[in-house]
Structure 1
Amino acid sequence: MTESAAVESPEKKIKVRTNKLQKRLRREVGRAIEDFNMIEDGDKVMVCLSGGKDSYAMLDILLNLQKSAPIHFDIVAVNLDQKQPGFPEHILPEYLESIGVEFHIVERDTYSIVKEVVPEGKTTCALCSRLRRGTLYGFAEEIGATKIALGHHRDDILETFFLNMFYGGKLKSMPPKLVSDDGKNMVIRPLAYAREKDIAEYGDLKQFPIIPCNLCGSQENLQRQVIKEMLNGWDKSNPGRIETMFRSLQNVVPSHLADTNLFNFKELQKGYAHGIAGDSVTNHFDPEQPQAEKMPEMIDILAL
């Protein structure tokens, strides 16, 4: 074997790394789909594309899984053109046509609404997100989509958890699966177990045609950016901490928090494990319900 043959070419290294990342992301997306029953036989999944690395990766992995899935489900890609000045309208249609996926471009001038309502210098993300979400929910109903897939990943979920804790006074994040407030749409987040740094590297290797958000992405000192920097700092100084924190979101012990609507502290009794009589599978209760009717709903925490 010649010396040149023994040295792996840059092209081969890129291919090997891309395949490795794709397998990892495919495994994590597949596990999230299974854990939360995100996609079922006959589903029509509306994959929301923003033009960012996360949604491109989500579409790529879902299309890959679709080929070997034991069930049948359809995928339709949807992008909301918010009429931002200078938005390159040709990029997404050209990319989606090149990979042969069904797609729709929904045109709504939410940009003008946001700029008119939000004072100069203030964060536009909240209003922009609400307008975008409402438009996409409505369009999902129009095309008969049974699931709406969003590209939020594990880091987004953790960041939202800390944002709500630090600035909103709530233990709350964005769940991998939820039903919209009006009960009409099912939202899924297939990248819930995927790391942002893996997605970013995968996007670079796949050379997705990234479209930056000029409306809010360039705003500095956003609360989310502060949280992101905090988490990145922890990840560098304490490798594995991010994974541990995310696992905590899947291992909640209501009896060791302080929410009286989530756990019935008032009726704890001595003589029972953890002060709880009964062996029901849930301790959720209605504060308006008579006390005698609440007792059977208590849970032995040891069974959690």
Structure 2
Amino acid sequence: MSEQITVADEKAKKAAYEGNKLTKRLRHHVGDAINDFNMIEEGDRVMVCLSGGKDSYALLDILLGLQKSAPISFSIVAVNLDQKQPGFPADVLPAYLESLGVEYRIVEEDTYSIVKRVIPEGKTTCSLCSRLRRGVLYRVAEELGATKIALGHHRDDILETLFLNMFYGGKLKAMPPKLVSDNGKHIVIRPLAYCREKDLERYARLRAFPIIPCNLCGSQPNLQRQVVKEMLNDWDRRFPGRIETMFRALQNVVPSHLADTSLFDFAGLVSGQVPLAGGDMAFDKETFHDPLPPLDEEGAGLAEAAPQRRTISILDSRRPVQESPCGG
């Protein structure tokens, strides 16, 4: 009996240790993203959009933790849009948010009926649903006086969007970690931009979030995003480190070596100019490096190889960058 207790104790200690490492890693990734893109500033009122899924739960949970230790003061208000989907458990989120003691608002808008009426049976509902939801959330942000709107998109979402736009939209475009809304009134931030989905899945189990499934879009078969997700997951299994390398590419763009004339003045190029960064590779054999090793359990690997950036430390896992006298 004593041996069984000892084994159980060891397992419990190991689980607690791994859970603590995971929590620290996610906090650091969120802190790094906030610093790199100056997502949250002194006096901000951050509206966290809470869907009931693992990602938005994790976002709220981590931001509440950072709020307590951050060197700046900012407030948080959680907002859920009840889209009136059949069977939606309307009591789950209010009970959860009440237990946290966080300010919140539940907004009831029957966008579900609109989507089902407008979109033919069997067609993808995501685009219209997203537009309707966005409009409501922008309106609520204005009503609440929110200065930032925080969404729960993570690193995998960003890469999936990149490939969706390339494969189906003919654009080299992903999800930016920070953007200004179309009407120019709101700043939208994605603090989970550096977080891996598999880490967020583990975190959701660790924190026992009361997950609410989306019956509107989650049941749709053969979604283009699901196809891309499976492709990336397959690459991640077969070629460890490839996902990290691809995400780094989004942070290391060379417009002069693409083909968008609106980003680079190809027509104005003349001989005698200073050579461009990256050099003339036309007649050289290109050398490509193996993908970076995937992040270890401490989040090392990618962070160590990433270019240094000026930060304003809210919770930064890297050494501070020495600024030049001119502030560059």
TM-score (norm 2): 0.82
- After superposition, where does 1:1-304 map in structure 2 within 5 Å? 4-5=5-6, 8-274=9-275
Shift of 1:16: 2.0
1:109 partner amino acid: D
Shift of 1:2: 7.4
Other structure's SS at 1:72 match: coil
Shift of 1:214: 0.1
Separation in 2, partners of 1:54, 1:61: 11
Superimposed CA distance per residue, residues 258-303 of structure 1 (whole angstroms, 9 cap, x where no aligned partner): 0000000001111122369xxxxxxxxxxxxxxxxxxxxxxxxxxx
Identity in percent: 74
Separation in 2, partners of 1:133, 1:11: 43
Shift of 1:19: 1.2
Superimposed CA distance per residue, residues 185-208 of structure 1 (whole angstroms, 9 cap, x where no aligned partner): 100000000000000011011110
Aligned length: 276
Q: Check whether the contact 1:268–1:275 (CA below 8 A) recurs between aligned residues.
A: no
Q: Check whether the contact 1:18–1:206 (CA below 8 A) recurs between aligned residues.
A: no
Shift of 1:3: 8.0
Alpha-carbon distance change, 89 to 10 in structure 1, aligned in 2, over 3 angstroms: farther
Other structure's SS at 2:235 match: helix
Ranges in structure 1 where 5+ consecutive residues have no aligned partner? 277-304
Shift of 1:103: 0.5
When structure 1 is superposed on structure 2, of 264-273 and 218-227 the one drifting more is 264-273
Relative contact order: is structure 1 or structure 2 higher (C-alpha 8 Å, sep ≥ 6)? 2
Separation in 2, partners of 1:80, 1:15: 34
Shift of 1:12: 3.1
Shift of 1:4: 4.3
Q: Check whether the contact 1:177–1:188 (CA below 8 A) recurs between aligned residues.
A: yes
TM-score (norm 1): 0.88
Separation in 2, partners of 1:123, 1:275: 44
2:204 partner amino acid: G
Superimposed CA distance per residue, residues 105-155 of structure 1 (whole angstroms, 9 cap, x where no aligned partner): 000000000000000010001100000011001100001000000000000
2:93 partner amino acid: L
2:218 partner amino acid: G
1:196 partner amino acid: E
Separation in 1, partners of 2:183, 2:197: 31
Q: Check whether the contact 1:254–1:263 (CA below 8 A) recurs between aligned residues.
A: yes
2:234 partner amino acid: G
Superimposed CA distance per residue, residues 228-248 of structure 1 (whole angstroms, 9 cap, x where no aligned partner): 000000000000100000000
